[in-house]
Chains A and B, each alone.
Chain A
């Protein structure tokens, strides 16, 4: 039987904000217009494909605090290249989802006398939609460790690997700890081959705040196995609430 999932535990993130607590429906629409190229000699209508584009529609509940969904979406109105992530079956490591670089194109706040106030947002895609892996999700990273390896795949010369790091809150605990997160690749699942560092995120420190960082690397790359690796240093008990995703972009 094919995998079937309920959408009740979907996770929606925008940059470093987890908005799953105030949203209740998401739809991703990818459209590719077809040009009619039918000629007299053709028996049937004939088409060729144009350029694809996408939108992400997020239905939400208007919230003015904890989380301040309203203010964040209002602030995003003219901001470009926001990182929207949709994970239909939670964001735990190994789950599949979609990552998008997008802008708000519509955000009606709908208030009726007998209903909850809604804040629905339509995100217009800026770059190719990336079918991503959740590589690591942990609310309290506080040690040097390697994440689980996933066969994300090899890259052709025309592809890129797109990674997003999200830190959902300032680090907890006390001390001057740092956390370096990298994404490495190898030809073997257990990384017994010749592991290579592919992506290095900006070091997190005790001064870090909630943030997001997107990094892409160009193909070609023959390694198919990828994983997150953390290096934790310093004195203290700081912990970091992070999510890292990774996926192949065709352009």
Chain B
């Protein structure tokens, strides 16, 4: 049974590799479930809608040129769709080694919907960003 440690994750936003400062990536795929339960049903029933993907990234605040701070700040300011690439193993895509990508094209692409920087006196400077995928996110295995 395959089990994979998260230590080798790669994540890129707008072609900027951020794994050098990230410590966590959470990609969530939600599908709205519309309740269609009728009186005749024994259990509740629902129908699946369209899937929506968000990626939450957490890392060390990096104000250097070409780092995460300027990358995320620029995107949340300009509101432009960018490409998001999440590679859980750091070696994908390949057979049984998926890579999740939302590629900027027209209305499709990844948008920074929130960016939180945190500077507590007793801890590292850090950040968390939520990235909303618009349109198709692919799961590539080759």
Q: A38-B50, A44-B50 given as contacts; is B63 within 8 A of A88 (CB)?
A: yes
Determine whether B113 belongs to the interface, using a CB cutoff of 8 Å to chain A.
yes
What are the residues of chain B within 8 A of A64 when measuring CB–CB? none
Residues of chain B lying within 8 A (CB to CB) of residue A5? 60-61, 63, 124-125
A190 to B61, CA, bound (A): 30
Q: Are A32 and B111 in contact (CB under 8 A)?
A: yes
Pick the residue among B67, B112, B120, B122 that contacts A3 (CB under 8 A). B67
| A137 sits at the interface (CB 8 A) | no
Complex interface bits, A29-44 against B, C-beta within 8 A gives 1, otherwise 0: 1111110011000111
**In the complex, A10→B136 CA distance in Å?**
40
- For the complex, give the distance between the alpha carbons of A4 and B132 in Å: 26
Asked if B79 is at the interface of the complex by the 8 Å CB criterion, the answer is yes
A128 at the interface (CB under 8 A from B): yes
B79→A30 contact, CB < 8 A: no
Q: Does A194 contact B (CB under 8 A)?
A: no
Indicate the member of A43, A46, A48, A95 with the most B CB atoms within 10 Å: A46
Q: In the complex the two chains form, what is the Cα distance from A4 to B79 in whole Å?
A: 27
Binds A, one of B3-11, B70-78, B93-101: B70-78
Inter-chain contacts of B68 with A (CB < 8 A): 2
Q: Which residues 1-39 of A have a CB within 8 angstroms of B?
A: 1-8, 10, 24-34, 37-38
Interchain Cβ contacts within 8 Å, total number: 136
Q: Which of B50, B111, B133, B136 has most chain A Cβ within 10 Å?
A: B50
| B63 partner, pick from A24, A47, A89, beta carbons under 8 A | A89
B69 located at the interface, meaning its Cβ lies under 8 Å from any Cβ of chain A in the complex: yes
For chain A, residues 180 to 227, give those with C-beta under 8 angstroms from any C-beta of chain B: none
Interface residues of B in 126-141 (CB under 8 A from A): 132-137
A145 to B115, CA, bound (A): 38
Is B67 a contact of A2 with CB atoms below 8 Å?
Answer: yes
Cβ of A250 within 8 Å of any chain B Cβ, yes or no, is yes
A7 touches which of B62, B107, B113, B121 (Cβ 8 Å):
B121
Whether A65 sits at the interface, judged by CB under 8 Å, is no
Beta-carbon nearest neighbor of B114 in chain A:
A31
Q: Which residues of A contact B108 (CB under 8 A)?
A: 46
What sequence of 0s and 1s flags, for each residue 75-111 of chain B, a beta carbon within 8 Å of any chain A beta carbon?
A: 0111110000000000000000000000000011001
Residues of A in contact with B, size category: 35 or more
Which parts of B35-76 form the interface with A (CB within 8 Å)? 50-53, 60-64, 67-70, 73, 76
Chain B binding surface, main DSSP class: mixed
Q: Does A96 contact B (CB under 8 A)?
A: yes
Q: Is the CB of B79 within 8 A of A49?
A: yes
> How far apart sit A29 and B129, CA to CA, in the bound complex (Å)?
10
When chains A and B are docked, how far (Å) is the Cα of A9 from the Cα of B22? 22
Q: Is B117 part of the binding interface, using a Cβ–Cβ cutoff of 8 Å?
A: yes
Q: In the bound complex, do residue B125 and residue A47 qualify as a contact, i.e. CB atoms below 8 Å apart?
A: no
| B53-A89 in contact (CB<8A) | no
Taking a contact as CB atoms under 8 Å apart, the answer to whether A48 and B69 are in contact is no
Contact A28 B116 (CB under 8 A): yes
Q: By the criterion CB–CB under 8 Å, are A26 and B136 in contact?
A: no
User: What B residues does A47 contact at CB under 8 A?
Assistant: 111, 132, 134
Q: B50 to A45, Cβ gap below 8 A?
A: yes
Instruction: Please give me the 5 A-B residue pairs with the lowest Cβ-Cβ distance, nearest first.
Output: A49-B79, A45-B52, A96-B63, A7-B119, A2-B20
Binding site for A on B (CB under 8 A): 20-21, 50-53, 60-64, 67-70, 73, 76-80, 107-108, 111-125, 132-137
Binding site for B on A (CB under 8 A): 1-8, 10, 24-34, 37-38, 42-50, 52, 86, 88-89, 95-98, 128-129, 131, 250
A-B contacts, 6 of them at CB < 8 A, read: A6-B124, A25-B121, A37-B107, A44-B136, A88-B61, A128-B77
